[in-house]
Chain A
């Protein structure tokens, strides 16, 4: 399928190719309206396009894609004269491209003066000579892939000339039973949701609002202690009684928060001075402090959903704060986690009901983006093909590349910006086989 060897404009430096232009003729029978040629015309014109000839009419048609999106350019000669709008003969040129699946692109042509004189200095003298200063330009971009059935009609001097040929690239036919045996599966391109996530690691800390170090209001002797390390206390519960050294009055020390007593430095008879007597931690709510490195910083915002996981447990939360830290070049994104029973009596033992404890290292998936997009494809379907990323669409037993412009992606799907239509059937599993089959047949595409 050396389709574009013939069709596409060659790089200006390759003078040799142009030298090879010859005046062989492709005479196509005018009686036959649709003359199908399996292969595209083999003769190249002075501009690197295909030469189409019929009687005294000569048409050179090329796809030009150097520096511009691919476009059709044509040079028309009648009775040896280059035809421009000022010529007597007014040509009507139309090119119809029928693509796999029956989509038809139509082009009409208008004359354009040569605009890129500077290219002549690149050394392709013969090209500039042949250009005659202008060309007929097709209206519109010739979309990739350049794989279609080409029909050309040219009306000039009262005659209509037809040419047609097959010009396929990136297309392959695989029999249905073999495709099934090979495990090629397809699905329809459809709208979908993209959930883009980002992995971060961090430690759990108890929030400062959930940690209380309790001191005696007035120095004095501790007369009674009600709780011990590991005890669960309620807010307002009396933890100890102290006899003030000044007033000699006994007063109670209450638990300021619900929680678990994690430290006790108080025994009956001891003096309560400046030191904290108890530490109470409430593990109902712990904070995951996730490290957000500079590369990730732009994507992470407060309010984003985050899935935190450790030791087999997972909890969904949202990022509430993003705070700087002086311990490293990262930010800390803080997301609260709740322990259902407010933390077990023994934080060292993780049970399913209360898996989170301060100091624990967690892995978090931050959902940095979640959007509904009009078209997604399965990531398994993607293959690289030349310098494109493509999927292969299936129509009957034919498969053809569709170069895609891609947007956002998550672990399984990727957004398609252009190149594919909703409802197209594309290959998901074993798409590599299609790529391998196309590339093995040596598809070529001149650039």
Chain B
């Protein structure tokens, strides 16, 4: 079949060549539709169900919201698991579905279930699904600030409330319309509210209650339509406008009358624009600000969407009031451009190097060009493939592409064709020109001679990528695109070298082809021959050196240390600043201000901003004591020391901020932080989850377990999940006393809730803006905890009783948050492992816990943590890798019809790996999956080289019958292609290995391994393989 394809390609060469145009067209179209991002999206298929429950304690929001929601969602099709947190005023249930579930389908199912339980939830609470976005969703952030001296229409300076109003009613509605934006999330500032703050004394004087006030407001704030009247043929609409419009309107609302004298709101209360009880705040450069985040719809092209948002924001600027400034603080485009820039630079430089090498070694410009043409064509085909399979272009997916590897097949074919053409022309005499038919025949022969080994080689390289597809979870999501892209590129190259390359050679190599061996090749040949002969003599020495090298690198590999997933450097820093639980929002803002002022002192920092607590849409429900800081760095050229690495800077920063009192930090990066928040789960090596009902008992058991774990060798950073420590002021009604005063518990609670939390009493409309009208006590009274007991509670028959008379006021810590998983409460004990292997540690932990910990009935344990992933990954790999090796061996046997030869080629793999390990060790890099991918590529190259070499030697041996001479001659003839493939493959990776740009850290280990490995694998192919072949077939040859 291969032969017929080759014949067809050579015969119908122009037709085949014209397919280039099709390929070009398809590729260019695909390139325009290729989703581009910085990193692969590793978020699982998840839906967040958020329910805001103002005033609900963690316990209540769990009981009344989280539990019914979780129960309703249990048993959904494709459901992987649910987890939830219940915090003060918020219940969040995260529903995770099996990979591959359609997110819209999942949301539909959830919506349906939520609809069914609406009646069982407390009235007024509405579960809402989070935006359809992933960890890559937060693509654009901006802050608002007022220039100094700018004033509002009424002459007052812009405050946080005014800025928030601008964000909510001018900016957000415009940005929300940008295609691809699913949500504009706001944090910071205060939502404008109209506050009616009555004085308790005046209320007593006039005999009105908080309830009376809010009722009066509700009853006096509506427009009513009254149908229409027809008069003389004209239709008149009738309406009675009664909406409150202004502060004065509110003040004039009549609450009651005393002896015909009306008591108005103004008599008992102050009316003013007030601040909401907010759940989150935002700061920038040490000042409070309002922060908007544009979230991208799942599957959109982040660069395009963030560009569109930026463009829209430009036009929004014109509609802002004088003196208000919107400033972009985070734009994903920057990162994507940088990352793609890195990849592009690597690819282009790599391609150029490959072309130069081809030209130098082939010594024929046309031939070099034909080979090089495979690069862009394979690339375009790959892009088409990526679009078709939905793989996005990013650091990972493009990171392992090496044009050297891609052109390997083509190099071998072209090289052989040139050699044969030159030979043929030489035979033809001085003129040397070949007739067309003759030329085509030569090309066919030349191609056919090497097509099999090179096809097998490419197929084998493709096969070695298969284990990557067996990775699941986060690792799978990172590396599947990489494997897919490489496989697509290799397959494209394979097809091209089968069709296009022979066609092009046939069509264009019409002129005189001289066997112009470049000086380089001549020199290496003259060096190679004596060395090979020497090596054949000292074969035992060579073999034992090789074996020693393999053993040495095996030992080296164990000392390298390992990291599972490479850390993409995003170029910006994110840090969690954590304060103790129970820290108030205003206190947190004050601490944050100090922190930001300190960070801003660094000349490397361009801007720093933070989100504290929970934003409007609770995509990331943090308590007020946690702040997400983003530190945006200036371009390196503006640093005082441009050579400083980011790691060094982070250490410097950490040392500086550590001095600030009351903060703990966790350094990460913006996208990484978001991924961590969404994937959430346990991020330590070991997580022991205790499930059960009673929080106290759970905590007690968890602490007992922690004590056991801490005594086990190798345990580090042991921690019990923080679930308590939220200070709570409880106002417990005393039922007997209440009854004596004729009060009910709910009457008391209503008063307390309205007095402190405030009671919504309707909406005030200003155009299409709407603001809440709230009744609550003046701020000075609300904050005075000491005299809370003096708060007068109105009695039904007039008069009052002080709060302390009918309730016990006490300050006590309460649960801070309640976490649940799969519908059950849980507390997690986490620990890391240091200086010990994970497996035996886990076994120890399990044994000790079984022995020492006794859980009450109804409580159980579950072990989780990254050790599970490691375990399952290594289990899968331990099956898949041998299978892959078997497949390769099978292919080799097919190619040679000889187990012996296949075995010889196979020995190339360990020696190839040797170079990779040594290269890693020299560059002080740990083993990682990236490096692993390099090793995979390397095994392929090693096999390919061996294949080409042995196939030729075998052929010569069969032709001539003298084993020794055949080996020497064969090796000499194959020196050029072997050197070429080695050089192009390693040079193609050189830019990657040296690059320090954004995202280079993923590619660097891979490139390093390949370069190092190719050096050793080439040496192997050139020296060890011939030796082995001679030893394996020596007896045969003698016999023969």
**A residues with CB within 8 A of B:** 14, 16-17, 20, 172, 174-175, 178-179, 181-184, 198-201, 291, 293-296, 310, 328-329, 360-363, 379, 384, 409, 411, 430, 432-437, 439-440
Please tell me if the beta carbons of B201 and A433 are within 8 angstroms of each other in the complex. Answer: no
Give the residue of B583, B590, B661 whose beta carbon is less than 8 angstroms from that of A178: B661
Please determine whether A432 and B587 come into contact, CB atoms closer than 8 angstroms. yes
- Which residues 642-666 of B sit at the A interface, judged by CB distance below 8 A? 659-664
Residue picked from B201, B578, B741, B787, most chain A C-beta under 10 Å: B201
Q: Does B239 contact A (CB under 8 A)?
A: no
A-B contact pairs, 27 of them (CB 8 A): A16-B711, A20-B711, A172-B661, A174-B659, A174-B661, A178-B660, A181-B594, A181-B597, A183-B590, A184-B661, A201-B792, A293-B801, A293-B805, A295-B802, A295-B805, A296-B805, A329-B740, A360-B205, A409-B786, A411-B786, A432-B583, A432-B662, A433-B662, A435-B662, A436-B591, A437-B661, A439-B580
Task: Give bound CA distance, A198 to B578, whole Å.
Answer: 39
- On whether the beta carbons of A436 and B707 are closer than 8 Å, the reply is no
Complex Cα–Cα for A172 and B580 (A): 15
Which residues on the A side are within 8 Å of B799 (C-beta)? 328
Q: Known contacts A16-B707, A361-B205, A384-B727: does B802 contact A199 (CB below 8 Å)?
A: yes
Check A440 against B662 for contact (C-beta < 8 Å): yes
- Tell me which residues from 705 to 729 in chain B have a Cβ below 8 Å from any Cβ of chain A: 707-708, 711, 727
Whole-angstrom CA separation of A178 from B661 in the bound complex = 8
Known A293-B801, A436-B662, A437-B661; judge A361-B204 contact (CB<8 A). yes
Provide the residues of chain A in CB contact with B590, threshold 8 Å.
183, 430
What's the Cα separation between A179 and B800 when bound, in Å? 47
Distance of A182 Cα from B580 Cα, bound (Å): 17
| B580 engages A175 (CB within 8 Å) | no
A440 lies within 8 A of B578 (CB): yes
Given A384-B727, A411-B786, are A440 and B580 neighbors across the interface (CB < 8 Å)?
A: yes
The reply to whether the CB of B332 lies closer than 8 angstroms to some CB of chain A is no
| B852 at interface, CB cutoff 8 A | yes
Indicate if B151 sits at the interface (CB-CB under 8 A). Answer: no
User: In angstroms, how far is the closest chain B Cβ from the Cβ of A55?
Assistant: 29
Asked whether A435 and B660 contact (CB < 8 A) given A14-B707, A17-B707, A361-B201, the answer is no
With A296-B805, A361-B201 given, name 14 new contacts (CB 8 A): A172-B661, A179-B661, A183-B590, A184-B661, A291-B800, A293-B801, A294-B805, A295-B802, A295-B805, A328-B799, A329-B741, A363-B201, A409-B786, A440-B664
B804 at the interface (CB under 8 A from A): yes
Give the residue name and chain of the A residue nearest to B587 (CB).
Answer: A432
Residue contact A295 to B662, C-beta cutoff 8 Å:
no
- Assess whether B576 is interfacial by the CB under 8 Å rule: no
B804 and A295: CB pair below 8 A?
yes
Task: Tell yes or no: B962 within 8 A of A by CB.
Answer: no
Q: Which residue of B lies closest to A362 (CB)?
A: B201
A359 to B786, CA, bound (A): 29
Minimal Cβ-Cβ distance residue in A for B664: A440
Nearest CB of B to A155, in Å: 35
Q: How far is the CB of A125 from chain B (nearest CB, A)?
A: 15
A175 to B800, CA, bound (A): 52
A123 to B974, CA, bound (A): 81
Separation in Å of the B939 CB from the closest CB of chain A?
48
A300 to B: closest C-beta gap in Å: 13
Interfacial residues of chain B within 769-824, with CB under 8 A of chain A in the complex = 786-787, 790, 792, 799-802, 804-805, 811
Contact between A199 and B787, CB atoms less than 8 A apart:
yes
CB pair B790–A199 under 8 Å, yes or no, is yes
The answer for the CA separation of A201 and B660 in the assembled complex, in Å, is 47
- In the complex, what residue of chain A is closest to B588 when comparing beta carbons? A436
Asked if B480 is at the interface of the complex by the 8 Å CB criterion, the answer is no
By a CB distance below 8 angstroms, the chain A residues around B826 are none
- Bound CA–CA A199/B205 (angstroms): 16
Residues of chain B within 8 A of A362, CB atoms compared: 201
Are the CB atoms of B201 and A440 closer together than 8 Å? no
Q: A16-B708, A17-B707, A172-B661 are in contact. Are A310 and B591 (CB under 8 A)?
A: no
B594 contacts A182, CB within 8 Å?
A: yes
- Report how far A198 CA is from B787 CA in the complex, Å: 9
If A17-B707, A201-B792, A295-B802 touch, whether A437 touches B787 (CB-CB below 8 Å) is no
Bound Cα distance from A329 to B741, whole angstroms: 8
A439: chain B residues within 8 A (beta carbon): 580
Contacts of B711 in A (CB 8 A): 16, 20
In the assembled complex, B579 has its CB within 8 A of some CB on chain A: yes
* Alpha-carbon separation in the docked complex, A414 to B446 (Å): 100
Given A16-B852, A361-B205, A440-B579, also A182-B661 (CB < 8 A): yes
A16-B708, A329-B740 known; A201 vs B663 contact (CB < 8 Å): no
| A201 cross-chain contacts in B, Cβ below 8 A | 201, 204, 792, 800
CB of B800 to closest CB in A, whole Å = 7
**Beta-carbon contact of A433 and B204 below 8 Å:** no
Q: Knowing A14-B707, A16-B708, A384-B727 are in contact, say whether A433-B205 is a contact too (CB < 8 A).
A: no
In the complex, what distance in Å separates the CA atom of A310 from the CA atom of B206? Answer: 13
Residues of chain A within 8 A of B800, CB atoms compared: 201, 291
| Nearest-neighbor residue (CB-CB) of B663 within chain A | A440
Q: Which 6 A-B pairs have the closest CB atoms?
A: A436-B662, A199-B790, A437-B661, A361-B205, A293-B805, A437-B662
* Chain B, 993-1025, CB within 8 A of any chain A CB: none
State the Cβ distance, A193 to closest chain B Cβ, in Å: 17
Report chain B residues within 8 Å CB of A433.
591, 661-662
Contacts of A174 in B (CB 8 A): 659, 661
**In the assembly, what is the distance between CA of A129 and CA of B865, in Å?**
40
Q: Return the chain A residue nearest B853 by Cβ.
A: A16
> How far does the Cβ of B103 sit from chain A's closest Cβ, in whole Å?
39
* B822 CB, nearest partner CB in chain A, Å: 30
Which residues from chain A contact B662 at a C-beta distance below 8 Å?
Answer: 432-437, 440
Q: Provide the residues of chain A in CB contact with B663, threshold 8 Å.
A: 436, 440
Residues of B within 8 A of A436 (CB): 579-580, 583, 591, 661-663
Residues of A within 8 A of B580 (CB): 435-436, 439-440
How near does chain A come to B155, taking the closest CB pair, in angstroms? 28
Least CB distance from B575 to A in Å reads 14
Partner of A293, one of B660, B661, B664, B802: B802
Closest to B727 in A: A384
Bound complex: CA A17 to CA B594 (Å):
42
Q: Flag B272-290 by CB within 8 Å of A: 1 or 0 each.
A: 0000000000000000000
For A198, A361, A435, which residue has the most chain B Cβ atoms within 10 angstroms?
A: A361
Closest B residue to A19 by beta carbon equals B711
Write the chain B residue with the least CB distance to A436. Answer: B662
Give Cα distance in the complex from A23 to B327, angstroms.
64
* Nearest Cβ on chain A to B262's Cβ, whole angstroms: 16
Q: Which residues on the A side are within 8 Å of B741 (C-beta)?
A: 329
Nearest residue, chain A, Cβ from B804: A295
A197 nearest in chain B by CB position? B787
| Residue on B nearest A184 in the bound complex, by CB | B661
Tell me, rounded to whole Å, the shortest Cβ–Cβ distance linking A291 to chain B: 8
Residues of B within 8 A of A296 (CB): 802, 805
In the complex, the answer to whether A310 meets B201 with C-beta atoms within 8 Å is yes
Bound CA–CA A362/B805 (angstroms):
19
Q: How far is the CB of B203 from chain A (nearest CB, A)?
A: 10
Contacts of B579 in A (CB 8 A): 436, 440
User: Which residues 808-849 of B have a CB within 8 angstroms of A?
Assistant: 811
A170 → chain B closest CB, angstroms:
14
Expressed in whole angstroms, the Cα–Cα distance for A293 and B793 within the complex equals 13
A437 cross-chain contacts in B, Cβ below 8 A: 661-662
Mark B189-231 against chain A: 1 for CB-CB distance below 8 A, else 0. Answer: 0000000000001001100000000000000000000000000
Query: What separation, in Å, do the CA atoms of A390 and B578 have in the docked complex?
Result: 23
A444 to chain B, nearest CB (A): 12
- CB-CB nearest in chain A for B579: A436
- CA–CA, A384 and B785, complex, Å: 15
Q: Contact: B805 with A178, CB < 8 Å? A: no
A228→B708 CA distance, assembly (Å): 93
Q: How far is the CB of B577 from chain A (nearest CB, A)?
A: 10
List the A side residues contacting B201 at CB < 8 Å.
201, 310, 361-363
